[in-house]
Amino acid sequence: MIILVISMKVKSGVNSLDKIIGGGIPKGDIVLVIGAPGAGKSIFGLHYVYQAVKNGKKAIYLTFELNKKILLKQAEGFKMDLNKYIDNNLLILREYDMTKTDVVEIYKDIKQLVETENPERIVIDSLSILSMYSEITAGMEIVRTLDMSPTNLHVSPEVLRRGAIVGLINMFRRTNVTALLIAEMPEGHHYLTRDTFSEFLCDDVIKLSRIESTGKRFVTIIKMRTSKHDLVPHKMDITNKGIVIK
């Protein structure tokens, strides 16, 4: 007997992308969106949450880089009015100042939000910044918790960073939220992310790229575990309505 496993899909918010990946992102997947600065990662994240809220589904967007007002203005420029969804509590948009906020409290906040609000989807913008501060602050938290001096603590920054990312992804899997994690792609490096391993943990990896000399943009599906897809770059434009893939 042959058993067919049919996974439910959630729309990405970019219709032309959904056609490439077989109708959308598998529900409950952890999606990594990578690219250099200016590649369109945050715009992709805005499409992603807008798709949910305009259809009556709850979404969360957490930003550790862009100012909340700038993000809303950017969305408005692409014909996405997010304010009304914030007002009716369909969209939770939070901005964190990483220089003034304890990263341990941020992880607690994310966990509480996902468990109490039960969103269909969440965006972390960006995983690169969150993991970088995890190395610094989480290390100090361990020192405080164990009442040890830093000279007696032999935990590498890499271990702290990886532990934080693994914990975050595992929490998302337990709650079955479809998560989109934005990360900066380092130049001249054979790894896809600065943390060097989140691309292996995530179910799906979408790469946004831009050729500086020509101004041309592309999107490439690097990995999608449960969906058939090609591996060729597809031409991408950013128009007054946001991302369009050709």
Q: What is the mean pLDDT of the segment spanning 119-146?
A: 75
Specify the pLDDT at position 37.
92
CB 207, CB 232: distance < 8 Å: no
| Domains of the chain (ranges, CATH numbers) | 17-245 (3.40.50.300)
Q: What is the pLDDT of residue 197?
A: 86
The model's pLDDT over 54-73, given as tens digits with 9 standing for 90+, comes to 999 999 999 998 899 999 99
Mean pLDDT of 67-95: 97
Q: Say if residues 41 and 208 touch (Cβ distance below 8 Å).
A: yes
Give the global pTM.
Answer: 0.90
Tokens of 215: 């101004």
Residue with tokens 């060097």: 196
Cα(32)–Cα(123) distance, integer angstroms = 10
Structure-model confidence comparison of residues 34 and 98, the more confident one: 34
Q: Which two tokens stand for residue 185?
A: 């792609």
Q: What are phi and psi of 145, to 5 degrees?
A: -65, -40
Q: Where are the alpha helices (DSSP H) in 55-154?
A: 68-77, 83-87, 103-117, 127-146
pLDDT level of residue 155 (50, 70, 90 thresholds): low
Residue 147 pLDDT level (bands cut at 50, 70, 90): low
CA-CA distance, 223 to 79, in Å (whole number)?
Answer: 30
pLDDT greater than 50 at residue 148: no
- Amino acid 93: pLDDT: 98
Residue 10 burial (C-beta neighbours within 10 Å; 0-12, 13-18, 19+): buried
pLDDT tens for each residue of 104-116: 888 889 999 999 9
